[in-house]
């Protein structure tokens, strides 16, 4: 069973641009990958590829969707499966972002804010730094 997540970034105009990520959305996996590997520049590139099946440490190159991605690379629905209805969406506020993905069972919402930090929410408007959540998991 998948742990669904959404990955978003705050835009210059205050809106949030986001995609769906199907597998391994929990903080110890997707949260850690985002925290350690994605800044504003490569997150913009990530969002350009649309919805994600598997988040990797790098965007990587096109590959057959049914094959394993090259080590550490992302698998995208549009690029790797040619599904054209998998583009990023834009939301005017974090509440709208949370509500949009709720209907498909998203459990974790990630947001790269203007301050350069990744935040995570479990569907409420209560955002925590991903780094704090990961530190807490390591201490447990």
Find the length of the chain. Answer: 140
Question: By C-alpha distance, which of 60, 51, 44 is closest to 23?
Answer: 51
Predicted local confidence at residue 43, as pLDDT: 98
Predicted local confidence at residue 50, as pLDDT: 97
β-bridge mates for residue 119, sequence order: 111, 129
Q: Residues 39, 138: contact at Cβ < 8 Å?
A: no
Q: Can you read off the two tokens belonging to residue 123?
A: 């569907």
Instruction: Count CA atoms closer than 13 A to 97's CA, side-chain side.
Output: 33
Tens digit of each residue's pLDDT, the chain (140 residues): 689 999 999 999 999 999 999 999 999 999 999 999 999 999 999 999 999 999 999 999 999 998 877 889 999 999 999 998 999 999 999 999 999 999 899 999 999 999 999 999 998 879 999 999 999 998 87
Predicted local confidence at residue 126, as pLDDT: 92
Alpha carbon distance 60, 111 (integer Å): 22
* DSSP strand pairing (108-112 vs 5-10): parallel
Predicted local confidence at residue 67, as pLDDT: 84
Alpha carbon distance 31, 12 (integer Å): 23
Element counts in the chain: helices (H) and strands (E): 5, 8
Q: What is the pTM of this model?
A: 0.95
Predicted local confidence at residue 1, as pLDDT: 63
DSSP code of residue 27? I
């Amino acid at each position: 069973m998948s742990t669904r997540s959404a990955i978003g970034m705050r835009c210059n105009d205050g809106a949030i641009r986001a995609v769906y990520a199907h597998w391994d959305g929990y903080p110890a996996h997707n949260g850690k990958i985002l925290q350690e590997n994605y800044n504003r520049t490569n997150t913009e590139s990530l969002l350009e590829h649309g919805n994600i099946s598997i988040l990797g440490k790098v965007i990587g190159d096109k590959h057959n969707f049914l094959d394993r991605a090259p080590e550490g690379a992302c698998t995208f629905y549009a690029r790797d499966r040619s599904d054209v209805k998998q583009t990023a969406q834009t939301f005017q506020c974090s509440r709208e972002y949370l509500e949009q993905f709720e209907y498909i069972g998203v459990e974790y919402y990630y947001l790269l804010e203007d301050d350069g930090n990744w935040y995570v929410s479990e569907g409420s408007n209560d955002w925590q730094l991903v780094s704090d959540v990961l530190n807490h998991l390591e201490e447990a």
